[in-house]
Amino acid sequence: MIIFYFLLLILPLTTHPLWTGAIAGVTPIKAFGLMIAVYAAGYFFMRKEYPQPLSTWQGRLFLLLNAIGAVSLVVRVSNPAVVTNMLQIYISLDLLFFATVVLIDSQRRLRYVLLSMIASMSWASFYVLREWQVYHNVYAGLRPGGVSGDCNYFASSALITLPMAYYFWRASSRLWISILCLSSIGMSLIAMMLGASRGGFLGLLAGLLMIIWRSKAKIRNMVVISATVGPVVFLVPSSPLQRLIHPEYADHLGADIRIMLWKAGLRMIQAHPVFGIGLGSFISMSGVYEDRSVFYGTATEKMQGLACNAFLELTAELGFIGLIVFSGILVATYISLDRVRRRTADGKPNLLNLTANSLQIALVAFSVSLVFLSGQYLKPFWMLVFLSMCLPALEAQQRRERRRRELAKEQTAPPQQESELTFAPPPFHEVGA
């Protein structure tokens, strides 16, 4: 399990030379993934209860998305490089899916997984802050992304862990957990603002509004969050708010290119509405379907790029079938988390309630950012989805344990009159225990 926690710790470091540098075609991250898969396969037969990810709709739809992608690669894609790249992406997601649903069979392991993900963003944020410190005087308008590959991908990954860190900080009584969560929140927010991702900023606003709406003291929390986040937004150089209010030439140019790629994607959908152009083919086909003359006059050079919109890109590559399945995963994950959140809302600190609540808010925030980012394959997002498959079983396990304790207490309690019977509140699992 230590290797699994470590893998989560380096999950956002997608371009770190130490973990992504290949030796004989094998990177350390791939080696860790294979080791974890082997361990999970052995642990599968040692579990008292077998995992049931297909009991959740998001689990079924994830496997369906795998099948649709496989068929698309066979039928639609002829470029060997694209096939190899997409196979690597889907195989890595499948291994992460298998390891997560098999290994996360207790609240203790769930807690350490969440803390590992929170710590991972502190690590990634450090690289972003260090990049800005070293190069902000060298490159004008620098938008650092650290070893996360890109400032937009970093911001979207941070949207997954920020709600976790916030709720852990509020619920935990352990000093080291509070320090970890506060440092992760502070470093992630500053790094996000330095990266100036407008899509990430809008996702952050959606997440903050959801946190405020679900809190009991809405006005107080709105004031506290505004006083905490506001200075970071306004004081950090080249923040996303500044790019939204006072866009420069590069911002206008980026918006024009994004619109051009969106229109190219719409043309792909119009030409192949049902099954799409083929998995992973958007970049290579974008130059065929784009109209560069919109703002480049009569230039004939074509530009290839991602759609910068996960929903549009998936629809263009896999057709409306792929869009429906992917959107179904988002909706099913939200409903599943909401069900666990309501069932565990007993008014006391509860790890499952904290997890379901934070993951649900993270899902909404990340979904907003997907409108401006091709982040459908980001592993922190899929880790969120896979964790949502584990929560129903853990919640049922907790209910059985509570019922067992209640029955044991009733059997050992002295006889009382029927009118004097009292019921003790159910026990809970403190986050920092």
| Tokens found for residue 230 | 């506001």
In a domain, 295, yes or no: no
In a domain, 404, yes or no: no
In a domain, 384, yes or no: yes
Over residues 337-347, mean pLDDT = 87
Q: Does 123 score more than 60 pLDDT? A: yes
Answer for the pair 313, 282: CB distance below 8 angstroms, yes or no.
Answer: yes
Q: Does 326 score more than 70 pLDDT? A: yes
Give, as one character, the DSSP assignment of residue 148: G
Answer for the pair 218, 212: CB distance below 8 angstroms, yes or no.
Answer: yes
pLDDT of residue 279: 93
Q: Does 118 score more than 80 pLDDT? A: yes
In a domain, 272, yes or no: no
For the chain, the domain total comes to 1
* Nearest CA among 313, 314, 333 for reference residue 324: 314
CA distance 269 to 4: 39
pLDDT of residue 293: 59
Give Cα 70 distance to the centre of its chain. 23
In a domain, 171, yes or no: yes
Q: Does 71 score more than 90 pLDDT? A: yes
In a domain, 254, yes or no: no
Q: Does 292 score more than 70 pLDDT? A: no
In a domain, 273, yes or no: no
In a domain, 64, yes or no: yes
Q: Exposure of 87 by Cβ count < 10 A (0-12 exposed, 13-18 middle, 19+ buried)?
A: middle
pLDDT of residue 425: 43
| Tokens found for residue 110 | 């769930």
Phi-psi region of 49 (alpha: psi -120 to 50; beta: other; left: phi over 0): beta
Cβ contacts of 324 within 8 Å, gap of 6 or more: none
Over residues 61-69, mean pLDDT = 95
pLDDT tens per residue across span 12-61: 888 877 777 777 667 888 888 888 988 988 988 887 777 777 889 999 99
pLDDT tens per residue across span 81-101: 999 999 999 999 999 999 999
Host domain of residue 370: 2-249+306-398
